[in-house]
Amino acid sequence: MALSRSLRLRAVCGLAAALTLAPLTAAPTAVAAPADLREVMFVGNNWDGTADVIRSGGDLARIGRIDVVPDRDQRLTEIYLNPVKLAYFLGVRLGPGEGHDQFVDDMYSTPDGTAVVVSRPSFADVVSVDIATGRINWRFPVAGYRADHMALSPDGTRVAVSASTANTVHVLDVRTGRQLGSFATGDKPHENLFTDGGHQLWNMSIGEVTTALDAPWLDWTKGDRHITVVDADTYAPIRTVDMRERLDAFGRSDLSDAVRPAAFSPDGRQLYFQVSFFNGLVEYDVAADRITRVKTLPKNPATSEDRTTWVNDSRHHGLSTSPDGSKLCVAGTMDDYATVVDRATLTEGPLVPAQKPYWATVSGDGKSCVISESGADRVTAIDFATGQPTASVAVGDHPQRVRLGHVPAGWTGPAAR
């Protein structure tokens, strides 16, 4: 999802998007990975608190597993001794956790491959876990009571994390965990994307997604949802984008303005995003500041039309772009499929059956879309060229985020303690 689609730059930094609101600049020079590091994918198993490390392409075979809640007993003791924290902890379990604790939402490895930085929703924090020992290097409690999506800066030195109950994004030093800055967002900040080579940061707020007030006429109860764009060096606001106005202008007042997973075209001119309750995606022209196309994708006849049964208001949740920008990969979460969409025509390819696919990213070689099947505890690769599945591997309980990263060459898991 970076402005430059250099696979090496994506692999070293595990990037999100890269674009600029100013005229586009030349793509950065590719960065070679150190010879003593191995490119991998980290899979966050949200409900059991582990991160599986798998090959970044090919058969996706598992290499090792990291416990990202080694301090579980200490954290639970703190929570159970604090009535307010306990109330929110149980609220996360009963709400977004679907009856489970959420121990890993997002994660990125550090550029040197020595640690993985993890946001832990139920513990309302971000931690750095040493890849060699499995011990925690540092811990940062977020504002409020839940940590959510993250983004790593292009140079790999900063990580942005959404504090979803505090309407705040923190930006942390990945080496020390020290807060470098923060900024206010709309209600329930969610996705974060570094842009313009790391000089801008976009945050998408999704509003309240855990209530049963899901009828279209009750949309007003979901809160203030907008995109916040800040200067990533000073954290000063640059602009906000209210998609309600843009959707209405396009004639789609029926769609929610809660922007979910998003991806930029390689040149940064278009933003593609999913919204709550919608089986499809939206194309937004960044320079013109307007929506240009909306694509409705097929429904699964077996999917209930009762919107209160859709997980956290998301019908489709997971979106990525191929390195050459010609294809989009869509996770059709509640419709139990994934599909590759031609970006020029927005025509979908084969519907690949998948059990509650929750995320979509790109393999290390750029040839495949990789989805997490949270309902099957698997990760599956789909070829961008053919739209057909090519590999699948079992992982832990309820995989969600999948991120490219690095571990030391020869690593197979933390040393026994």
pLDDT for residue 22 is more than 60: no
CA nearest neighbour of 366 among 327, 310, 412, 312: 327
- For residue range 115-163, list pLDDT tens digits in order: 999 999 999 999 999 999 999 999 999 999 999 999 999 999 999 999 9
| 114 in Cβ contact with 49 (< 8 Å) | no
Q: 323: left (phi > 0), else alpha (psi -120 to 50), else beta?
A: alpha
Q: Over the chain, what is the mean pLDDT?
A: 91
Residue burial 258-268, b: 16+ Cβ < 10 Å; e: rest:
bbbbbbbbbeb
Report the alpha-carbon distance of residue 232 to residue 338 in Å, rounded: 33
Report the alpha-carbon distance of residue 400 to residue 385 in Å, rounded: 24
Report the alpha-carbon distance of residue 367 to residue 361 in Å, rounded: 11
Report the alpha-carbon distance of residue 28 to residue 20 in Å, rounded: 13
Quick check: is 28 in a domain? no
Domain count, the chain: 1
Q: What's the gap between Cα 294 and its chain centre?
A: 22
Quick check: is 208 in a domain? yes
Give me the helices (H) in 268-370, please: none
Angle between helices 72-80 and 83-94 (to 10 degrees): 110
**Terminus-to-terminus CA distance in the chain, angstroms?**
38
Quick check: is 148 in a domain? yes
Report the alpha-carbon distance of residue 96 to residue 102 in Å, rounded: 8
CATH code for position 165: 2.130.10.10
Predicted local confidence at residue 195, as pLDDT = 87
Q: Which domain holds residue 232?
A: 7-22+33-408
Quick check: is 270 in a domain? yes
Which tokens is 67 given? Answer: 């416990």
- For residue range 286-322, list pLDDT tens digits in order: 999 999 999 999 999 999 999 999 999 999 999 999 9
What is the pLDDT confidence band of residue 20, given thresholds at 50, 70 and 90?
A: very low
| 258 in Cβ contact with 247 (< 8 Å) | no
Report the alpha-carbon distance of residue 408 to residue 406 in Å, rounded: 7
Which tokens is 303 given? Answer: 């999917």
| 332 in Cβ contact with 350 (< 8 Å) | no
What is the pLDDT confidence band of residue 267, given thresholds at 50, 70 and 90?
A: confident
The amino acid at 176: T
| 3 in Cβ contact with 16 (< 8 Å) | no
pTM of the model: 0.89
- Stated as kind and residue range, the H or E segment containing 202 is strand 200-205
Quick check: is 15 in a domain? yes
Which tokens is 48 given? Answer: 């059991």
Quick check: is 413 in a domain? no
Quick check: is 357 in a domain? yes
pLDDT for residue 34 is more than 90: no
Predicted local confidence at residue 33, as pLDDT = 53
| 148 in Cβ contact with 121 (< 8 Å) | yes
pLDDT for residue 24 is more than 90: no
| 257 in Cβ contact with 242 (< 8 Å) | yes
Report the alpha-carbon distance of residue 174 to residue 295 in Å, rounded: 38
pLDDT for residue 208 is more than 90: yes
Report the alpha-carbon distance of residue 83 to residue 89 in Å, rounded: 10
CA nearest neighbour of 287 among 253, 314, 264, 310: 264
